[in-house]
DNA sequence: ATTAATGCAAAATCTTTGCACTTTC
DNA sequence: GAAAGTGCAAAGATTTTGCATTAAT
């Protein structure tokens, strides 16, 4: 992930997507893609930009996040009404979501198998299958992690 | 299962959940539970209540939807950032979601099998596994999604 | 009577928009 | 110097909150 020339990498991602590499976009792309997979909200990214002395308005943050999403570099993850997360991991994968804290983490696509998917209604096609594993604090001790992985469904 | 005595059923659901059967709550419960499985937004339910000559404020709609959700009679479905759907089907099942139209439909739990679920992080337990099958219009064919199952949303 | 629920309007969030100004090509 | 991008503040949309009024036990 963290390549040798982060600046150049961010720049390349942008130009390859047909987005002009402006100061703001390059800066945001670096924040997003130079440190492995992450999940950010617009507000969070804005705060990071400020901390990094990158002057960007929230409006531009939103614009950029959507442009990157349209370009396939980000994926919007909807787990919480009224808050959008953007995920820098655009490969096939799913999510753990801890409702109380808002904690969100990737689960590699290979770790979940969804079988017997029903056919989509006529005239439509499946664009994506999202699996969200919702979590809460375990009651008693730490980890109510029942030995094996569970099976949901039949 | 539109039962023989819808009014009584709505009333029972409420009292069994420890909620006072006020005029508003009984009316809303009837709208929600007397016609099979449905997916509604607060705004929609409000409109229906008005059309049914049931005077309720939006604030009460939200209060009631959340109370019914806490009581386990409804399930909140998050598929779209910034819009909450409430599902009267609280049994194990998943969803089809047509992004362009906001159309949402149930997929029986038995029709999808999720296997090899990873262990939840220590100290947490899985509260639910949501599977959302996102749809878009198929390229070739004519028909758009909404056969008739009911279009939810705008 | 007591306690809970309702309604209204105001506030809080999060996100988008309009338009003048700035930067990139 | 065109065209694209940015910033700001204002507008939207959805959901929550505070408090006086009303209704249920």
pLDDT for the residue numbered B5: 55
Task: Decide if B83 touches A, using CB distance below 8 A.
Answer: yes
> Token pair of A106, please?
């990737």
What stretches of B1-154 show up as alpha helix (H) in DSSP?
A: 6-16, 23-33, 42-51, 58-70
Q: Which chain A residues are closer than 8 Å to B120 by Cβ?
A: 96, 133, 135, 143-145
How many Cβ atoms are within 10 Å of A78's Cβ, its own excluded?
A: 19
Name the residue of chain A whose CA is nearest to B83's CA: A81
Residue A35 clears pLDDT 80, i.e. is over it: yes
- Partner-chain contact B145 A121, CB within 8 Å: yes
Q: Is A114–B111 a contact, with Cβ atoms under 8 angstroms apart?
A: no
Q: Is pLDDT at A147 greater than 50 in this prediction?
A: no
Report how far apart the first and last C-alpha atoms of chain A are (Å, whole number): 39
- Edge-to-edge, what's the strand order for the sheet holding B124-137? A103-108, A93-98, A124-137, B124-137, B93-98, B103-108
Element (H, E) at A143: none
Confidence check: pLDDT of A153 > 50? no
Give domain B8-135's CATH architecture: Orthogonal Bundle (1.10)
- Asked whether strand D has any atom less than 7 Å from the CB of B62, the reply is yes
pLDDT tens digits along A95-127: 999 988 888 999 988 888 787 788 899 899 999
pLDDT tens digits, one per residue of B1-23: 544 455 667 888 999 998 899 99
Domain regions of chain A by residue span: 8-135
CB-CB neighbors (< 8 A) of B99 in chain A: 127
B81 CB-to-strand D distance under 7 Å: no
Footprint of strand C on the protein (CB under 7 A): A 20-23, 41-43, 58-59, 62-63, 66, 82-84; B 19-20, 22, 24-25, 55-60, 63-64, 81-82
Please give the pLDDT value at position A148: 40
Question: What is the reported pLDDT for A100?
Answer: 83
Mean residue pLDDT across chain B: 83
Chain A contact set for B118 (CB, 8 A): 96, 107, 111-112, 133, 149
**Is residue B124 scored above 50 in pLDDT?**
yes
pLDDT of B106 above 70: yes
Is the confidence at residue B154, as pLDDT, over 60?
no
What's the pLDDT tens digit per position in B56-100?
999 999 999 999 999 999 999 999 888 899 999 988 899 999 988
First to last CA, chain B: 27
Please report which confidence band the pLDDT of residue A83 belongs to, taking 50, 70 and 90 as the band edges.
Answer: confident
Q: What does the mean pLDDT of chain A come to?
A: 84
Residue B147 in this model has a pLDDT that exceeds 70: no
Q: What is the pTM of this model?
A: 0.83
In the stretch 105-134 of chain A, residues with CB closer than 8 A to chain B read: 105, 107, 111-118, 120-134
- What integer is the mean pLDDT of B34-52? 92
Higher pLDDT, A62 or B101: A62
Residue A5 is predicted with a pLDDT of 56
- Decide if A151 touches B, using CB distance below 8 A: yes
B141-145 mean pLDDT: 43
Q: In what order do the strands lie in the sheet with B39-40?
A: B39-40, B83-87, B75-80
Segment among A13-17, A43-47, A150-154, B31-35 with least mean pLDDT: A150-154
Distance from CA of A86 to the nearest CA of B (A): 12
Residue A32 near residue A88 (C-beta atoms within 8 A): yes
Q: Give the CA-to-C1' distance from A78 to C21 in angstroms.
A: 35
């Amino acid at each position: 992930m963290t390549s040798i020339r982060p600046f150049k990498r961010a720049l390349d991602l942008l130009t390859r997507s047909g987005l002009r590499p402006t100061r703001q976009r390059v800066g945001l792309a670096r924040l997003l893609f130079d440190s492995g997979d992450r999940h950010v909200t617009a507000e969070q990214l804005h705060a990071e930009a400020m901390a990094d002395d990158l002057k960007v308005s929230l409006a531009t943050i939103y614009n950029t996040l959507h442009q990157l999403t349209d370009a396939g570099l980000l994926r919007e993850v909807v787990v919480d009404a009224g808050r959008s997360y953007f995920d820098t991991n655009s490969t096939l994968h799913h999510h753990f979501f801890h409702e109380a804290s808002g904690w969100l983490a990737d689960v590699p696509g290979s770790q979940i198998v969804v079988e017997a998917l029903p056919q989509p209604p006529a005239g439509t096609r499946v664009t994506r299958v999202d699996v969200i594993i919702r979590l809460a604090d375990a009651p008693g001790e730490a980890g109510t992690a029942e030995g094996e992985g569970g099976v949901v469904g039949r």
